[in-house]
């Protein structure tokens, strides 16, 4: 059917992807066109397959769901991203929506209806798991003043990437990344990378190990 909703499933566990596929493959309105096992692979396959919806895990190696969402939408802004996550904390939800995701539902919800959620985000509707509190609260002043690029670089710094590695990931010069790092430290009143890491964890930009 030409009007089917094409979907890319993204999770670093093959069994989880198989479970997602089983949830939606019987629906004639939905067609799973591919699967990815990491955020980086999700970005690459999204460009190749051009799915209408990407069902994205939050916690993955190489590049997490929030970072992958930003990168996909930078290249294909009309793609609808639906985050499926184990994390119910407000910071994670807010970060997902800030990155441009249209939906956020919990993997461990008893009444998860993945097919319906896919259809809703495909139609441009915002979906929030009913078990979650709204993420529309006011962020703290310092964090709210950071640009999306600064938040992106803060996350990559906190994950242990060097300026050179961040530059390669984002297609920037090493000098530009160094300037962003200096601006971050100045804006947040911090002087050491370790302080940035703790701040990023508090803000839900990365998982605790």
DSSP string, 38-49: SHHHHHHHHHHH
**What pLDDT does 144 receive?**
77
Alpha-carbon distance of 199 to 196, in angstroms, equals 5
| Interval 12-40 mean pLDDT | 91
Q: Is the pLDDT of residue 11 over 80?
A: yes
**What pLDDT does 75 receive?**
94
Q: Name every residue whose Cβ is closer than 8 Å to that of residue 179 and which is 6 or more positions away in sequence.
A: none
Say how far residue 139 (Cα) sits from the centre of its chain: 18
Q: Is the pLDDT of residue 196 over 60?
A: yes
In this prediction, what percent of the chain has a pLDDT beyond 90? 45
Alpha-carbon distance of 98 to 160, in angstroms, equals 22
Give the angle 83-59-173 at the CA atoms, nearest 5°: 100
Alpha-carbon distance of 133 to 139, in angstroms, equals 15
Q: Give me the CATH number covering residue 178.
A: 1.10.10.10
Most confident among 69-73, 108-112, 148-152, 193-197 (mean pLDDT)? 69-73
- Is position 208 within any domain? no
140 C-beta neighbours (distance < 10 Å), count: 9
Alpha-carbon distance of 200 to 2, in angstroms, equals 43
**What pLDDT does 209 receive?**
34
State how many domains the chain has. 2
Q: Is the pLDDT of residue 185 over 70?
A: yes
Q: Give me the CATH number covering residue 47.
A: 3.40.50.2300
Q: Would you say the C-alpha torsion 169, 58, 124, 117 has a positive or negative sign?
A: positive
Please write the tens of the pLDDT for every residue from 106-152: 887 667 789 999 999 999 888 888 776 443 444 456 887 888 889 88
The answer to whether residues 145 and 114 belong to one domain is no
Of 88, 106, 128, the position where a domain reaches its end is 128
The answer to whether residues 86 and 169 belong to one domain is no
Q: Is the pLDDT of residue 87 over 90?
A: no
Residue 89 has what DSSP assignment?
-
């Amino acid at each position: 059917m030409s009007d089917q909703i094409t979907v890319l499933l993204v999770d670093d566990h093959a069994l989880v992807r198989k479970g997602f596929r089983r949830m939606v493959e019987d629906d004639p309105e939905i067609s799973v066109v591919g699967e990815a096992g990491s955020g980086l692979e999700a970005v690459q396959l999204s460009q190749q397959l051009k799915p209408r919806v990407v069902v994205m895990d939050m916690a993955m190696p190489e590049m997490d769901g929030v970072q992958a969402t930003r990168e996909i939408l930078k290249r294909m802004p009309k793609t609808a991203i639906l985050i499926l996550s184990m994390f119910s904390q407000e910071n994670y939800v807010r970060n997902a929506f800030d990155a441009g995701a249209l939906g956020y539902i919990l993997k461990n919800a008893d009444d998860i209806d993945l097919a319906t959620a896919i259809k809703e985000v495909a139609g441009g509707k915002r979906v929030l798991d009913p078990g979650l509190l709204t993420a529309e609260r006011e962020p703290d002043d310092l964090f709210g003043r950071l640009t999306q690029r600064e938040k992106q670089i803060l996350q990559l710094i906190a994950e242990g990437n060097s300026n050179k590695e961040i530059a390669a990931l984002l297609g920037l010069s090493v000098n530009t990344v160094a300037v962003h790092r200096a601006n971050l430290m100045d804006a947040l009143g911090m002087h050491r990378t370790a302080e940035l890491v703790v701040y990023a964890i508090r803000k839900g930009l990365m998982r605790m190990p």
